[in-house]
Structure 1
Amino acid sequence: MTESSSAPRSGPPSTGQPPIADYGFVSDCHSAALIDRAGSVDWWCVPRFDSPSVFGRLLDQDAGHWLVRPCDEFEVEREYAGDTLVLHTVFRTAQGEVAISDALALDPDARSHDLGLRVPHMLIRRVEGVRGSVEMETEFAPRMEYGRSEPHFRADATGVVARGGPTRLTLRSPVTLRCEDGAARGCFVVSAGETVEFRLGYEPSFGEGRTGQGIEPTLEDTKAAWQSWADLHDGYDGLYREEVRRSSLVLQGLTYQPSGAVIAAATTSLPELMGGDLNFDYRYAWLRDLSLTIRSLWIAACPDEPARLFDWFTNAA
């Protein structure tokens, strides 16, 4: 599925709240992030779906975000890369065109039903030059504990470390970042054929870092992992085949893989009605939805997943 829109932009980030439908969804089956059309990660709770957010602008303008976008006015077109939860966004400006691929990384050996069993807790953002030369900007402004905690920033030769409360975020990139006013910011130019990659890793504040531990996850491995899962669930051939296939990927992305539970949504505290008080936390498995989820997975030709979900339910209950 491809979405297109015109997103004129100049000056500082807008204070308007994007419609919820403007957010793309990426997942590693432990946590999920939401990314708006303008290249801002406005929601990420890590290391689990129900953890406190480090990016929470979905709920509050001051609750944290991570922006990567062109400096000039742009138009946007986006889609998911094949049968994956890797979000592919194309920005077109008067000077050229760039593509950003966003994904929550999966382990190099994550394939088929092992997808998401172990994850590196890393958000990868790859910027690729398609045409011309485009000046880009990034603003990394995490806020731990649902926006309550502004982290301490420390820059080094390879990026920035942001530490707040129990959380440490390490952002690695070739872009020089300056830390000021509660954020790390930088500008860079991407020309046709060039690639700039940002890698944001989560760790607890205490303990040793993961630098040098094991094989680094890649965007290619993450795409291959999702595609391997999708290839095992290709039996549905009825109406709205593409929509059903995409829905099965979303349901898998909402699955907490260590247990098999499927959460109702990746978000919390969004009102069902504006001004109302039904602001539930949907980052849990709601038993009333269980039968619908099991049936949906079965129809989407994912027989192993509903069986695993039912096993989780019988054990949890």
Structure 2
Amino acid sequence: MPPLIEDHALVGDLHTAALIHLRGSVTWQAFPAFDSPAAFASLVGTPEHGSWDLCPTAPDARVRRRYLPGTLVLETTWTTHDGQARVLDFMPTRAPGSGNPQLIRVIQGVHGDVPMSSRMLIRFSYGKITPRLVRHPHQFGGDRYAALAGPDSLYLDASTPLSAHADGSIEAAFRVRAEEQQVFALSWQPSHLPAPPRPDPAAALASTLSFWSDWSARSTYTGPYQEAVHRSLIVLKALTYAPTGGMVAAPTTSLPEEIGGVRNWDYRYTWLRDAAIALGVLALSGYLEEAAAWRDWLARAVAGDPATVQIMYSIKGDRDLPESTLPHLPGYEGSWPVRVGNGAAHQPQLDVFGEVLDAFHLAEEAGLAPCDDAFALQSALLTQVEARWHLPDAGIWEGRGPVRHFVHSKVMGWVAADRMVRRIESGRATGPVEEWRQLRDAIHADVCAQGYDPVRNTFTQSYGSTALDASLLLIPLVGFLPPDDKRVIGTIEAIQRELSTGDDGLILRYRTTGDEIGADGLAGDEGAFLACSFWLVEALTIIGRTAEASVLFEKLLALANDVGLLAEEYDCLARRQLGNFPQAFSHFALVAAALRLASEEKTAARDEALGLDTAA
């Protein structure tokens, strides 16, 4: 049976990441960076496209796992008839741009005598290239094998003997007893360099635990659901590329939005929208350093000409992300094509300007020091809004259909103008405030006139359309209209009626049309979009339906896997996660919803203490 998406856990080093299945197999890892070609790609292929299995030999071994508290160190405990063993999986953290990525797996005996096995099959270039294996004995008192192909090399060090086989696999069979341990360490480096030094697993584990514990301790979040919020914050940090401050949307490519379908995309890039919202959430949770790093990344990516700003870039700031397919990979559960690159990079999407300027606003409200260069960049971005807001665009969801006048895009154009006006009114900057007020008012009037259906009392997906879109839930959240406006309440209730998956209460982005080509230019359906469902939590909270919001929030938390991770979507019929994993969008939406609920809880407690009638 193919591995479920949600059966995976994430480990990473702020440069790249690995996905490890519940049964001990590394099914995805790219070296040396998130967007590099994968050397383990069985997740979107077969085990012969690269994988690393490490588990007891007993087929009925029971397993449970967790992250060590406040860290990204994965602990998997195996129990067999012979005893119990524990595996610690982690990638050592390192200074940005220094050293090379390593994946270390430490097997510790707890009690009894547990037979274990390891089988590694390295296939560079997304499972296409078989490396040459070279043995180097006497590392850790065990073995070292080097796998070499083209520009890449991987060195496997083990404290137990290794053997290579004709199929290119490297295997080990060993036993672990109480208070004993075995270690495997996999290190990447460019193939033209000399062999890397022997890893020090104990020191690497200690420094990695210290890094994550110290980082987690900086969180200022003290509201409800702390475990889920703190895990989501760690995920967002783990998806950040330390050398530049860019954040990937997810560490994977082509995990499908519909099993067997074509909605499979490469998410290993930095979307301005996603990263801006995520960094706003991090700033509100006490992580101003990350917000400052992303501000610097944005300035470099946009460079000297904001007129050419893109919706996404590589983690290093590259603009060209040509999309292609990998015909040698069958895809996750036959979901093909498997794509690398992303053709949406050059789409016109007006909303990104609003998300970026709102993120700057939130970060400065949270304490990030203003910066003259950043304000100049923001002013230039608003100039682009002024030039483009009346034009159709591709919208937030990056469909492959025709451009339209999407309501959400226009609303976020309003947000861009509003945040700049508020910045000047606060005295933090000077600028043409009256001109920007007029821009803000013009966009607002246009949306209310052309994007609202008075018969149904709801805003619509685009001008002249009757379709709904879950992004309309953001209208009250960004302050476009007050929460008690009848149009806001009508829109929320219409989305609940028309985009809900049923009794679950989860929300679709918009309605799709099955096998026919839909308005988004694609055939096929998809699952409930988790971020949209978290937006509904916020929307219900802001209009005073807090009890209903809390029930939905707890339903959403229950969809996370055993270590608190969420993909992009959820299939309510098959009861499984869908899409790239773990997904930054889902996790920052979770944190934002928790912040909203926590704020409402504090307000209710204050009103109760003051003897106010909160039901009035």
Task: Using structure 1 for the length normalisation, give the TM-score.
Answer: 0.88
Cα distance in 2 for residues equivalent to 1:213 and 1:105: 10
**Cα deviation code 1:257-291 (max 9, x no counterpart):** 10001110000122222233222110001123233
Of 243, 265, 286, which residue of structure 1 is paired with 2:271?
Answer: 286
Of 247, 260, 264, which residue of structure 1 is paired with 2:232?
Answer: 247
Larger Rg: 2
> What's 1:131 paired with?
111
> What's 2:128 paired with?
148
Cα distance in 2 for residues equivalent to 1:214 and 1:17: 35
Of 229, 243, 246, which residue of structure 1 is paired with 2:215?
Answer: 229
> What's 1:12 paired with?
none
> 1:160-309 maps to which residues of 2 (within 5 A)?
160-180=145-165, 181-211=167-197, 218-231=204-217, 233-309=218-294
Counterpart residue identity of residue 179, structure 2: G
Q: Give the deviation of 1:34 after TM superposition.
A: 0.4
Secondary structure, counterpart of 1:256 in structure 2: coil
Counterpart residue identity of residue 116, structure 2: M
Cα distance in 2 for residues equivalent to 1:215 and 1:275: 41
Cα distance in 2 for residues equivalent to 1:297 and 1:272: 27
Q: 1:78 to 1:215 in 2, by over 3 A?
A: closer
> What's 2:614 paired with?
none
> What's 2:71 paired with?
84
Bigger drift between 63-72 and 215-224 goes to: 215-224
Q: 1:127 to 1:213 in 2, by over 3 A?
A: closer
> What's 2:469 paired with?
none
Secondary structure, counterpart of 1:274 in structure 2: coil
> 1:63-142 maps to which residues of 2 (within 5 A)?
63-72=49-58, 73-107=60-94, 116=96, 118-142=98-122
> What's 1:10 paired with?
none
Q: Give the deviation of 1:224 after TM superposition.
A: 1.0
Give the count of matched residue pairs: 294
Cα distance in 2 for residues equivalent to 1:132 and 1:138: 19
Q: Give the deviation of 1:128 after TM superposition.
A: 0.1
Of 31, 45, 49, which residue of structure 1 is paired with 2:16?
Answer: 31
Q: Give the deviation of 1:117 after TM superposition.
A: 5.1
Q: 2:246·2:275 contact (CA, 8 Å) conserved in 1? A: no
Cα distance in 2 for residues equivalent to 1:247 and 1:24: 13
1:313 to 2:304 alignment = no
Cα distance in 1 for residues equivalent to 2:27 and 2:146: 19
Cα distance in 2 for residues equivalent to 1:101 and 1:213: 15
> 1:9-28 maps to which residues of 2 (within 5 A)?
16-28=1-13
Counterpart residue identity of residue 66, structure 2: E
- Which structure has the higher relative contact order (CA within 8 Å, separation 6+)? 1
Q: Give the deviation of 1:241 after TM superposition.
A: 1.2
Cα distance in 1 for residues equivalent to 2:197 and 2:101: 13
Q: 1:118 to 1:82 in 2, by over 3 A?
A: farther
**Cα deviation code 1:118-177 (max 9, x no counterpart):** 343111100000010000000011110000001112223222111122211111112211
Q: 1:30·1:119 contact (CA, 8 Å) conserved in 2? A: no
Q: Give the deviation of 1:217 after TM superposition.
A: 5.2
Which consecutive residues of structure 2, in runs of 5 or more, have no partner in the other structure? 138-142, 303-616
Secondary structure, counterpart of 1:92 in structure 2: strand
More strand by share: 1
Counterpart residue identity of residue 211, structure 2: A
Cα distance in 1 for residues equivalent to 2:13 and 2:159: 25
Secondary structure, counterpart of 1:209 in structure 2: coil
Q: Give the deviation of 1:213 after TM superposition.
A: 9.7
Q: Give the deviation of 1:32 after TM superposition.
A: 0.3
Identity %: 36
More helix by share: 2
Cα distance in 2 for residues equivalent to 1:47 and 1:235: 32
Cα distance in 1 for residues equivalent to 2:51 and 2:12: 17
Counterpart residue identity of residue 125, structure 1: R
Q: 2:156·2:187 contact (CA, 8 Å) conserved in 1? A: yes
Q: 1:155·1:177 contact (CA, 8 Å) conserved in 2? A: no
Q: 1:214 to 1:35 in 2, by over 3 A?
A: closer
RMSD: 1.9
Secondary structure, counterpart of 2:44 in structure 1: coil
Cα distance in 2 for residues equivalent to 1:17 and 1:213: 33
Cα distance in 1 for residues equivalent to 2:150 and 2:3: 29
Bigger drift between 171-180 and 305-314 goes to: 305-314
Task: Using structure 2 for the length normalisation, give the TM-score.
Answer: 0.46
> What's 1:54 paired with?
39
Q: Give the deviation of 1:188 after TM superposition.
A: 0.2
